[in-house]
Chain A
Amino acid sequence: MKELRNPKAIRKLLEDIGEIARLLSRPPRLMEVCGTHTMSLFRHGLTPLLADVGVEMVSGPGCPVCITPAGIHEAAISLVSGEKDLTLATFGDMTRVPTRMGSLQTAVPGPGSRIKIVYSPEEALEEARRAPARRVVFFGAGFETTIPAIAFTAKRAAAEGLANFWVLPALWLVPPALRAILEAGEISISGFIYPGHVSAIIGAEPYEFIARDHGLPGAIAGFEPGDILLAVRSVLEQAAAGTPRVALEYSRAMRAEGNPVARALMEEVFEPFDAAWRGLGTIPASGLRFRERFAGFDATPKFGLARPGAAGRDLPGCRCGDVLRGIIRPEGCRLFGTKCVPDSPLGPCMVSYEGACLIHFKYGRTRRPSS
């Protein structure tokens, strides 16, 4: 797919984008919802190139490690510190998120307990199979991309009759968060670049209210530079023509209807509830919890952890929440790059590779040669 990084094609797309942007009555500001898009935009230098042709990009809430509120991270820390012979399995980024109780990395596990970094929920299940005397809790954070894998893992644990496997869920739905950002009206947005891999599961329909009710254009994008620019061009074309819709610019990897098998699995195992997000507050039907039939897998009541509704408190001065809502850029936080750096982060946006603060720190401070 190196053709999607071809400099000549990229230049042509940027020229097209600049031409359309000049036709619009106001300079366009697009939100890239997904943290992996933010990463690609910065790594390839696209955000400044787009600014040069009149398009402002702003990052959205697309980092599950970041939007998982402090209360849930703290619940995981108290779990592994307070229990004996327990394995807390989680994705690597989750272990470094700082809270008022430290992080999972600095936590002292209870006797015989440990933290295991996994790449897949299946590895956590494998640990439970291999060590039946241990209790294994998978601390799973994710959007619709990740949730079907977690649903499958819980269902498989049920089928195998494993009695030593639980999930501490931090499961988030993207469309309700976009609705909340639009309804809050704190930031004016002229269109959206929708996340490609969340959309591979949910399809295009869940975003249609944004075109219909808010009159805003959008496009589902892949992750190569060319993919993102194609989507930006589509959004601006829709804006210029006054025909907002949900365009598919990632059709090699997703269908308009998403993945119905994955969605059915999600719906079988989980149900929506009003969840508290870091920075965004409580959003109706924006989180998932186990349905009654699978409630035995929920680590929250089993280990007497704080209810997932408990948002907890951020470290003093951390503005990760404002960054997630798009109302400030990372540079707008006075801790950014001074007290809060990747080696000693004060909030999850400086931890996750999808966190806007980390991405701005790594790639956003390069000065371009003056021409």
Chain B
Amino acid sequence: MCLAVPAKITRLEDSGQGTVDYMGSEVKANFPLVPKARLGDWVIIHAGFAISVMDEQEARETLQLFKEMADASR
């Protein structure tokens, strides 16, 4: 039940509703839990609600870490 997925905000209305792009599909979503989210942000969606805004810098650092580990591996 805590399955949640990353998706990009494609429409954000003042009402707190809008849509996200999830793997190429446009899906309705609610944004009242993430008042700082802006159009184009990546968010974590659970049960139709964005619960968290993703941090691009942190995501890049994680990817870099894995790239380094892959390079360090035989």
Mostly, the A contact residues are helix
CB distance from A128 to the nearest CB of B (A): 15
**Residue A9 CB within 8 A of the other chain:** yes
0/1 string, A1-33, CB within 8 A of B gives 1: 101101011011101000000000000000000
| Residue from B2, B70, B71, B74 within 8 A of A62 (CB atoms) | B2
0/1 string, A120-139, CB within 8 A of B gives 1: 11110000000000000000
Binding site for A on B (CB under 8 A): 1-4, 6, 30, 32-35, 44, 46-49, 51-52, 54-56, 58-59, 62-63, 65-67, 69-74
- Count of A-B contacts judged by CB separation below 8 Å: 135
**Residue A57 CB within 8 A of the other chain:** no
Q: Given the known inter-chain contacts A36-B2, A251-B58, please indicate yes or no for A152 contacting B49, CB distance below 8 A.
A: yes
6 contacts between A and B (CB under 8 A): A4-B66, A8-B74, A11-B73, A64-B1, A148-B49, A261-B33
Chain A contact patch, size range = 35 or more
Mostly, the B contact residues are mixed
Is B34 a contact partner of A65 (Cβ separation < 8 A)?
no
A148 to B47, CA, bound (A): 10
Is B47 a contact partner of A120 (Cβ separation < 8 A)?
yes
Binding site for B on A (CB under 8 A): 1, 3-4, 6, 8-9, 11-13, 15, 34-36, 62-65, 91, 93, 119-123, 141-143, 145-146, 148-149, 152, 195, 197-198, 200-201, 226, 230, 251-255, 259, 261-262, 265, 352-354
Is A149 a contact partner of B47 (Cβ separation < 8 A)?
yes
Is A63 a contact partner of B47 (Cβ separation < 8 A)?
no
Q: Given the known inter-chain contacts A3-B67, A62-B2, please indicate yes or no for A197 contacting B51, CB distance below 8 A.
A: yes
A280 to B49, CA, bound (A): 29
| Residue from B1, B33, B52 within 8 A of A141 (CB atoms) | B1
Is A354 a contact partner of B1 (Cβ separation < 8 A)?
yes
A352 to B2, CA, bound (A): 12
CB distance from A66 to the nearest CB of B (A): 10
* Closest B residue by C-beta to A201: B51
CB distance from A246 to the nearest CB of B (A): 17
